[in-house]
Each structure stands twice: as structure tokens, then as C-alpha cells.
Structure 1
Amino acid sequence: MMEIFIKCVILSFLMAASCNLFFETLLPKRTFPFRWLRHMSLPTFMVGFLLIAFTPIPPFIFQPVRFVLTVMLTALLYFEAGLVRHMAFSLLLCSIYWITSVFLTSLIYLLPPLLHESLFSAVEDIAGSIFLCLIFIFHLRFKNHSDKWLSFSWTFTSFFPLLNIIVLLSLSMMDISGNATENRAMFAVVSGFAVINVCYFYFISKTMDKEEEMQRLRLFHERTQNQMVLYRDMQKSYDLQRRQLHDYKNQLGCIQGMLKDGQVQNALSYVSTLTGTLSKSVCLINTGHEVVNIMLSRKYQEAAEKGITITLSVNDLSTLTISEEEIVILLGNLLDNAIAACEKLDFGRIIQFKMILESNQLILSVRNPVKEPVLIKENKVVTDRRRGPLHGIGLLNVDSVIQRHGGTSVLKYNNGWFYFSAIIP
């Protein structure tokens, strides 16, 4: 009895470690009030498999259902993802384990009959060990690509693991223990099915690599657009300054003529009108950095035209070492997103912007109200594919600039407000 208990505990630990490693590779952990709760996923998985081990065995067809429900419910407690993804990943895990178990069983049937009894008694332990090794290999391959798995559409592809389980259950229920030819045929079928699964993973991997490459191309495209925007804005600013300088000479001549003719009141009225006109057209933002001035002035005027108020908190940025292109990426994307969010509001259109350089660090923050709640995972805004392929690209570009300079950023949604803050050395 004790031997059976120890065997169940070891097997439950192998399965729990495999499941926990699999989900840690793909999904972020949930946040809990107490930090120690984040580390309880492995014990909870183990408790689930111990319950499976020490409860009555259901009909064979329901055994995968019990496996999938145990894994999915535990993963829902500790890992952040939607129900569809949890279901798809749980089916995938069950599929991997079942094909490992069926492959080992069919392989044992090819060996001499004298070895069958001893090997069949250890098949679960061997399958659990191989299962853990396969998940560890999976972890090494995809541990830095959780974003790709989160963005991948699992609604359709989850049907393949489900089909896997159905086919494997059908094969497992076939009685082939007494026929060598059928044993070899079964092993060939299961081996072929294993190859199909390897191809399935290869297809998913290549598909995600392609999506990642497309994402890089979109990022590059947007950076190019941002740089062109900067050049156009600088050209507009220079053209405006030249026109104003030309008009300035004529206006001075007009004022001089009025004063010579003694028309003092007319001259004062003209100067007052001229001052009001200049205040609307001349850039009043001076941070000591030309590109920052241009970007903030343009966004300020754009927001004002749309009935949006921007409050600015800036200081001397003349020693800022970030490149012009990167400044455009940072300010352009952050303020464009804030303006776009405020445009959807009927009232309370305000953007609070801060850009201060102190102690050799750039402090950058944007705060604005939003109409709908913003879902944030792993410090990234969850993108909505319905809004087009470029949705969310701007913040990815912003994050890439911050990381390139060794900075850190924080995204937060709270009570109808979206917050972005960053510190860049």
C-alpha cells in the first residue's frame, strides 16, 4: 500500500511540475495580495493530480476530461488568460501526455511478452518522466516568446488537440495484445500521429515567427512615418518663421508711418491686434530643444483645435541626448494616443503631460481619461485586432526606445484614467 502511495505522489509531482512549467512558459502569473500565493500553483497542481490518483477511475473515455478540467481550473486560478486560451492550453497538454502514453504502450507491445508485465506497471512513471522532459524542451524553445503565444489566435487551432485526444482514445480502446502484425500496425499509426503533432508545433512556431516578422516591419514602417512627420513639421516651422519675418518688416513700417502721422491710438490698436495674432501662431513652448518644442507645439495646437486641453510640465531639455527620431516616436505616439482617447469623450477632455530632465534622468509621463477600460498585461496594452493590424504598434515603439536606453516604464488604468510613466537614464 505504501509503495502505491509513494508511486502516486511521485507521478503527481511529475505531472504537476510539467503543467506548472508549461503555463509559466506561456502565461503571466496573476497578482495576489500576498506574494507567497504566486508560488502555490505547483502545490495546487499536485493536489489536483493526487485527487485524480486517489479517486475512483471513471470510464476510459472520461479520463481525459478529468485531466483537462483539473489542469484548466488550476491554471485559471494562478495564470492570466481568457477561458478559451486556458481550455486550448489544457487540451494541448492533455494531447501531449496522451500521445506519449499511447506511444509507449504501443512500443511495449513490440517487445517480447516476458517484458510486458514489468514494463506496463512502470509505463505511467516513464510517460510522466518523458512528458516532463518534453515540456522542459518546450520551455527552452518558447520561454522568451510568451507574447507571441498570447497574441496567437487559439479559437480554431484548439480543435486539433481535441481531435488528437479523440483519435488517441479510439486507438487506446483497440485490443491488439495478441497479434504481432496488429501491434506493429498500431505502433506505425501512433508514430505517424506523433509526427503529425511535431508538424503541428512546427507550423504554429513558423506562423508565430512570421507574425513577429510582420510586427517588426510594422514597427519600422511607423518609425519611418514618424521621421517624415518630424521633417515636415520642421520645414513648416522654418517656412512660418520666414513668412513672419517678412511680415514683421512690413508691420514695423506700418506702425512707424502711423506714429509719424500722429495716429497714436490707431498704432496702439494695431499693435494689440498684431500681438493677439502672433500669440496664436508663434510657438510659446521653449524647452531649449528644438525638436521637443516643435512636437509639443504641434500637438498642443492640434489638441486645442479639437477642444482638448493639454497641461504641460517641462524644464530645460537642452542637454537631452535622445535622438530626434526617438523623440518623435516618444512624444508623437504618447500624445497621439492621448488625443485620440480624449476625442471619444463628451466632456473632461484633458491631457496632463510631464517631461522633466533632472539628475541625469528623463522623467516622462502622460495621464488622460479614457471612455472604455484599458486591459493591461505584462505592462502592455492588450491590442484589439478589430481595430486594424497597426493598433497598439505605437506603444510598442515607445517601449522599444525606452528599453534601448535602459529605461523603465509603467502602464496603468485606474478609475477611468490611463497612466503612462517612464524614467530614462
Structure 2
Amino acid sequence: MELLIVAIVGLLAKKRFQFKNTIWQDWLRVMLFPLTTTFCSVMFFQIYEIESSAGTELLLCEIVLLFFDVMAIWLLDYMDQQQAALQDNIILKRSIKQEKESMEALVEAYSDQRRKTHDFQNQLAIIYGLAQQESPDSQVLNYVRPLLKKEMLPTLITKTGRNVVDILLTQKYSVAIKNQILFQMQLGDLSDFPLSDEELIVVLSNLLDNALNACMDISNSKERRILLKMRTKEAAGFLYLENPTAHNVEILDNKIVPSKTTSIEHGYGLKNVTAILDNIGALYVFDYNSQKKLFSFSAQLPISH
């Protein structure tokens, strides 16, 4: 009966147990072993009343049954945790795939537009040359001349040796400018940065999106700023990001404690970041200065030779 009560209390205390989404099979899986032990205990007691000399043996059977019952409950809980971890891994892979496809499409579109721009400029140059030969005072020259000096797309703001990073940072920089956010970058050559393009996209996009959203919540535009530092040395790659926040951020065991208003996607974004860093054995720290209301993230990523 004690084991049965403990199982029920433990079930009620589980935060991830959603009663609205449970079915009778879930309840049966949790309560099967405690109910079985309770039934066996009643049967043992009846046998003891008939044959009291078997009390020692019955008590030993009860102890063994109780031990394996506890082990079975522990095993079920462990399997439940493994299932949750598997689900998180599936979501991570799905997110990485979506980010990769999105960035590949962006890189392809950017390259295609650059190629068209280059061809367009060449065609304009030929038109300008032909018009200049035929009529040096033509109005066509006055119209074409300024077009030759214009770009259809903004120039990449960074040159890190990683094309996807340059495009991603250019995109996030334009978002920051539109929202009156000062975006400062101190970047080195990232050709050998110890993350693949897909992993780097997921890490940077999630961290920068969180920083941008945090800055947008700040009413005073003069206080909105983001600082990103990235560099590579012989043994490791280093990443540092800081931004102010409008609300306090709680960090427990190097994890951000989600608030009641935090969306599920926001939580999974950070899970994707930490999962990638854990996979390569990186060292990382979330930090928050409550006095300055300044959030920071720093990571050291080993380079495998």
C-alpha cells in the first residue's frame, strides 16, 4: 500500500504528466506493478493465516517482489526520460534540416541575384558604350550612367571566409538596423571554425534571433545593442554574444529558466544550440548581470585535428 501511494504521489508530482492527454493505457502502465504487488500481498497474508509456519518464506517473497517492483518503476521512468530525449533529438534534427534548407535557398537566391546583377551591369556597360559611340550627347547616356554605379543587392558587410555566415550576418544586420539596434561585430577568419555550415547556421541564427527579440522589447532605442565576437585560434574557436534585456533572465545550472510567457519555439531554439555544442564537447556559459540587465553567452569550441 505504501508503494502504491508513493507511485500515485510521484505521478501527480511529475510536471510533464499531462492529465488531459493521458489515456487508460498510460494509467495502466504506471499503476500495474503497484497494484500487482498489493494483490500478491493480500494473497500472501491469506496463505500466512492458513499456514503460519511459512511466514518467513512469505516475507522474503514479499521483500523480493517489492524490490523488483521498485526497479520496474524506476526502469519505466528511465524509459520515459529516454523517450523525451529522443523526441528532443528528432525536433533538433528537424530544426537543423529546416535551417539548412532555408539558408541554402537564401545562398542560392543571393548568388543567382548577384549573377544577374553582374550580367545586368555588363549589358548596361555595352549599351552605354554603343550609345556613346553613336551619340555622345544622347540622353540615354545620362540615364544609364548612374545605373552603372548602383547595386541591386547590398554588399556583404562581412568577409569571414564562410559564405553562409556572411549572408546570415548581413541579413540579421539589416533586421537590426530596421529596428534601431546597434549591431557590433568583431570577427576573424572563420574558415576553420569548428562547426559545419549547417550547425553554424543553427547556432548563430537562434542566438541572434533571441538577442534581436530581447532588444526589441526595450523601449529606449538608445539602449538596444548587440555585440558578437567570433575568432579561431590553433586549438579552439571562440564565440561571444551579449545584449541588454527589458526583463530579468533567470539562469539555473547553466540553463535559462523559461518564463510563463516564453514560447515553446524559443525554448527549443536554445536546446538546439546546446545540443550541437554538447555533441562536439564545447564549453559554454550563459550569464546574466541583473544590475546592468545584460545577458551574455560565451563558448569555446575545440578544433579536432
2:165 is the alignment partner of 1:292: yes
- Shift in Å, 1:397: 2.5
For residues 184 and 126 of structure 2, what CA distance do their matches in structure 1 show? 37
Q: Hey, what does 1:219 align to over in structure 2?
A: 92
1:197–1:327 Cα change, 3 Å:
same
2:271 is the alignment partner of 1:396: yes
Kindly indicate whether the alpha-carbon contact (under 8 Å) linking 1:411 and 1:421 is maintained by their aligned counterparts in 2.
yes
Kindly indicate whether the alpha-carbon contact (under 8 Å) linking 2:117 and 2:152 is maintained by their aligned counterparts in 1.
no
1:249–1:359 Cα change, 3 Å:
same
1:280–1:240 Cα change, 3 Å:
closer
Kindly indicate whether the alpha-carbon contact (under 8 Å) linking 1:311 and 1:351 is maintained by their aligned counterparts in 2.
yes
- Shift in Å, 1:296: 1.3
* Percent identity (aligned): 23
For residues 359 and 281 of structure 1, what CA distance do their matches in structure 2 show? 33
Kindly indicate whether the alpha-carbon contact (under 8 Å) linking 1:258 and 1:267 is maintained by their aligned counterparts in 2.
no
2:241 is the alignment partner of 1:366: yes
2:180 is the alignment partner of 1:317: no
For residues 68 and 191 of structure 2, what CA distance do their matches in structure 1 show? 61
For residues 143 and 186 of structure 2, what CA distance do their matches in structure 1 show? 34
Q: Hey, what does 1:420 align to over in structure 2?
A: 297
Q: Which of 272, 283, 291 is 1:408 aligned to?
A: 283
Letter in 1 for 2:212: I
Q: Which of 139, 148, 153 is 2:16 aligned to?
A: 153
Q: Hey, what does 2:76 align to over in structure 1?
A: 203
For residues 356 and 151 of structure 1, what CA distance do their matches in structure 2 show? 43
Give the 5 Å matches for 1:20-419.
152-153=15-16, 180=49, 197-253=70-126, 256=129, 257=131, 261=136, 271=146, 275=149, 278=151, 281-320=154-193, 322-347=195-220, 348-383=223-258, 387=262, 389-415=264-290, 416-419=293-296
For residues 355 and 406 of structure 1, what CA distance do their matches in structure 2 show? 18
Name stretches of at least 5 consecutive residues in structure 1 with no aligned partner.
1-90, 97-149
1:295–1:182 Cα change, 3 Å:
farther
Kindly indicate whether the alpha-carbon contact (under 8 Å) linking 2:281 and 2:301 is maintained by their aligned counterparts in 1.
yes
Greater share of helix? 1
Letter in 1 for 2:16: S
- Shift in Å, 1:295: 1.7
The number of equivalent residue pairs is 261
SS of residue matched to 1:392: helix
Please, what TM-score do these two structures have when normalized by structure 1? 0.51
